[in-house]
Structure 1
């Protein structure tokens, strides 16, 4: 998907809806979350979007999506998880993530593609008090949507036409994520380098 072309095609309402669906519904895994925010920041730096309107659309989409996910989890819970075909390993990873970080998982979760869709739902499922969830999700949405978009805007404003190279930027981000995951698996003992002796 050409994310920059997508953003320009759908406009402000479209980027609001994209973030809303990704954070509020368990079927939103396929949507361009982080890459969308990066594209918005770069396009705003290139004067193809108005930054303030885009930031507001992203923020509101994330806040409302998080709360939709929370109330779906509270009302429907495990039944919807099975119907949404969420992979068991993704669900288990999210549970471990929440157990490790507790309420902070709501602040950190938006930066992780699978977690930002599942964490609000699980918070509702376990019936976390809504006022606490709302405040944390508000902060998490603010840090994710405004932070990543403004960072991309700043970098894009310093390097002209950087939006043309968004795929290289995203590829570098994916490569870093894969390398980090491999390193963590290696440290956990799930990988063995060739020639390494064990036992």
Structure 2
């Protein structure tokens, strides 16, 4: 996991250094209407850069939230306006449409919040909301809540832990075997505590 985070930061930082907030806005927005893009990864990296003073954290969060909201609205409009075409052309499979309708029927506007944290749903749910003709007011309120919470979680979160992340990564790279041993011992200790708690006799 630590290597993955380090790899993402290394790979995406040059894009943010070169194109700044524009590439963040575009990547986040296009995810809202069905185009896979590293929007969330760019937001995490931008937040880490902001914590180091290379970008503005409030602006990073604002750009991400506004872009996500706008992209989702475009996805909703495309679903309302061209949903039948997308289905007839096979660009959205009937099985996908059925899953989207079932999810929307079960969770309604709250599903927009859930979808922001689930890959696949994040890219296609707003199209599904449009195809399902979700009421505009319900969609806008759900969209506003979802994009605001998502931008705060993935904007503030990485920025808050950035100071701890660098020494953790450095320690991991210098002592990989020791790191895995420590992690294994922690997991075993937790499993032992859970087993003891499960098998502890109830007080009479």
TM-score (ref. length: structure 1): 0.71
Between the aligned partners of 1:123 and 1:6, the Cα distance in structure 2 is 32
RMSD (Å) for aligned C-alpha atoms: 2.4
Q: Report the equivalent of 2:129.
A: 123
Check whether the contact 2:24–2:39 (CA below 8 A) recurs between aligned residues.
Answer: no
Q: Report the equivalent of 2:181.
A: none
Equivalent residue runs for 1:86-165 within 5 Å: 86=92, 90-160=96-166
Q: Which of 1 and 2 has higher RCO (CA within 8 Å, sep 6+)?
A: 1
Between the aligned partners of 2:90 and 2:41, the Cα distance in structure 1 is 24
Check whether the contact 1:42–1:162 (CA below 8 A) recurs between aligned residues.
Answer: no
Equivalent position SS for 1:48:
coil
Q: Report the equivalent of 1:42.
A: 48
**Per-residue deviation, 1:123:** 0.9
Check whether the contact 2:43–2:154 (CA below 8 A) recurs between aligned residues.
Answer: yes
Between the aligned partners of 1:21 and 1:129, the Cα distance in structure 2 is 22
Check whether the contact 2:43–2:60 (CA below 8 A) recurs between aligned residues.
Answer: no
Residue in structure 2 matching 1:13, options 4, 9, 22: 22
Between the aligned partners of 2:152 and 2:55, the Cα distance in structure 1 is 15
Equivalent residue runs for 1:72-83 within 5 Å: 72-81=78-87, 83=89
Between the aligned partners of 1:117 and 1:3, the Cα distance in structure 2 is 20
Equivalent position SS for 1:159:
helix
**Per-residue deviation, 1:147:** 1.5
**Per-residue deviation, 1:15:** 0.5
Between the aligned partners of 1:126 and 1:44, the Cα distance in structure 2 is 39
**Per-residue deviation, 1:163:** 8.9
Uncovered stretches (5+) of structure 1, i.e. residues with no partner: 165-199
Equivalent position SS for 2:133:
coil
Q: Report the equivalent of 2:176.
A: none
Uncovered stretches (5+) of structure 2, i.e. residues with no partner: 1-7, 171-204
Equivalent position SS for 1:128:
coil
TM-score (ref. length: structure 2): 0.69
Q: Report the equivalent of 2:196.
A: none
Aligned length: 161
Equivalent position SS for 1:76:
helix
Q: Report the equivalent of 2:38.
A: 32
**CA spacing shift, 1:161–1:70, aligned 2, 3 Å:** farther
Q: For 1:122-166, what per-residue CA distance to the aligned partner results, in whole angstroms no more than 9, with x for missing partners?
A: 1111111111110110010001112211111101133347799xx
Between the aligned partners of 2:131 and 2:95, the Cα distance in structure 1 is 18
